[in-house]
Amino acid sequence: MDNQIQIPLNLPDLRVLEVRQTLKSEWLIRVESVAGGTTCHKCGERITEFHGLDAPLRLRHLPLFEVPVYLELRPKRYRCRRCEGGPTTTEQPSWYQRRSPNTTAYEQWLLRIRINSTVSDVSHKLQVSEATVTGVLERWIETSVNWDALSTMAMIGIDEISLKRGRSGVLFAIITTKTALGVQVLAVLGDRKKETVLAFLMGIPPHLKQTITTVCTDMYQGYVNAAQEALPQAVIVVDRFHVARIYRAGADAVRKREFKRLKQTLAKPEYALLKGVMWPFRKRPADLQPAEKIQLNRLFVASPELEQAYTLREQLTDIFDHDHTKETATEAIKAWCQRVRRREIREFDAFLTTLDNWLDQITNYFLERQSSGFVEGFNNRIKVLKRRCYGIFDVKRLFQRLTLDVNGYQRFGTA
């Protein structure tokens, strides 16, 4: 007997009647409630007159040493003498939810394991059916936003994810908001049409809608039009990372073109020295190792145009890093455009057009920079989440999955 231990069950108002192992060697703990009463479902008063026992319930609980554990309970039924006819009410202990086959502790544990994981992963790891995993998800994760849980929004983000379906992609618009704890998903919409986004934004309860001061979005007219119409008071900001993606692609296009030329014009050993220079080319000057600087300089001697493209790219990033006002940023960006036009680097043409169309929203970044950036952080997470969303094309399922992955540790983590 000196290799046995006693473990507290840590569930309230219970008495353990028996512990035994089943034929499958699982632990079965028979328990009895000692709460001594419940609340009458008719009058809401506390009732304590014992009436009888309900049929036994078997609930899955947290495993012990990887051995499955079940609790067996016969819920007690109490009679109310205040209400006419003396109706009876079955007790509802706090440690499980009605109609759930598991204890709450078990379900929260499963949800923690389910974070950043797929249903089939969890089903394998915990040796439960996929239906069990999905059932827990259904009981705990809402399929659309609960507006009552929000008191203010301040900033929302409109973004999208594209999920593969066969050979084509399906686009879903994702609406998020910034909260004290990070990001919360407000909606997953089945397409990115203006009317779809507008309908959602118009449906935000008015007291919350009027707290929105900033909308972060990509350069997509449908989103911007919907936001302007539904939220006329809000400032529309194109976040800098959306902008950077375009001008960095411009510089990369110059790199590809120049490398083709260099391959034909340089002697083979010289060209070989440029191998791998793409990585330093993508870095900021401050991040370059000494060897990378030498490599990059060698490249720039061979291609002055690439040096120009690199310098222009970095100058623009510097503008976004600098503590500009909207007005001074606008001037700086316009001066930058002049320099690009003088150098006639065609690969930046698309970006110059983008600036012509979006300069106002792009420079709004300088009004809101302290609060901006959350969309970017969220976007990076979405990239990771996308793989796990494989095969899900139902907006409710996507909402659940994104919500659990983004907020699961806050909601179901242990303290």
Which spans of this chain sit near Zn ion (rule: CB under 5 A)? 40, 42-43, 80, 82-83
Minimum CB distance to Zn ion, residue 178 (Å): 46
Residue 44, C-beta contacts closer than 8 angstroms, at least 6 positions apart: none
CB of 81 to Zn ion, least distance (A): 8
Q: Considering the complex, what minimum distance in angstroms separates the CB of residue 49 from Zn ion?
A: 11
Regarding beta strands 168-179 and 155-165, do their DSSP bridges make them parallel or antiparallel, or are they unpaired? antiparallel
Task: Please name which of 284, 344, 292 lies closest in space to residue 317, comparing C-alpha atoms.
Answer: 284
3-state secondary structure of 403: helix
Closest of 401, 322, 368 to residue 157, by C-alpha: 368
Residue type, 227: A
| Strand pairing category for 27-33 and 38-39 | unpaired
CB of residue 92 vs Zn ion: minimum separation in angstroms? 15
Asked if 83 contacts 40 with a C-beta cutoff of 8 angstroms, the reply is yes
* Cβ nearer to Zn ion, comparing 41 with 282: 41
| Residue 145 neighbours by CB distance under 10 Å | 18
Query: For residues 80 and 227, which CB has a smaller minimum distance to Zn ion in the complex?
Result: 80
CB closer to Zn ion out of 30 and 79: 79
Q: What's the rounded Cα separation, in Å, for the pair 254 and 308?
A: 10
User: Least distance to Zn ion from the beta carbon of 90, Å?
Assistant: 14
CA–CA distance, 258 with 277 (Å, rounded to integer): 13
In the bound complex, what is the minimum distance in angstroms from residue 170's beta carbon to Zn ion?
53
User: How near is the Cβ of 119 to Zn ion at its closest, in Å?
Assistant: 42
Q: Give the type of residue at 128.
A: V
DSSP H helical ranges for 203-348: 206-209, 221-230, 240-265, 268-272, 278-282, 290-302, 304-321, 326-343
Q: Which is nearer to Zn ion, 43 or 105 (CB)?
A: 43
Complex with Zn ion: residue 49 or 130, whichever CB lies closer: 49
Q: Is 27 helix (H, G, I), strand (E, B) or coil?
A: strand
- The nearer residue to Zn ion, 43 or 253, going by C-beta atoms, is 43
- Which is closer to Zn ion, CB of 39 or CB of 97? 39
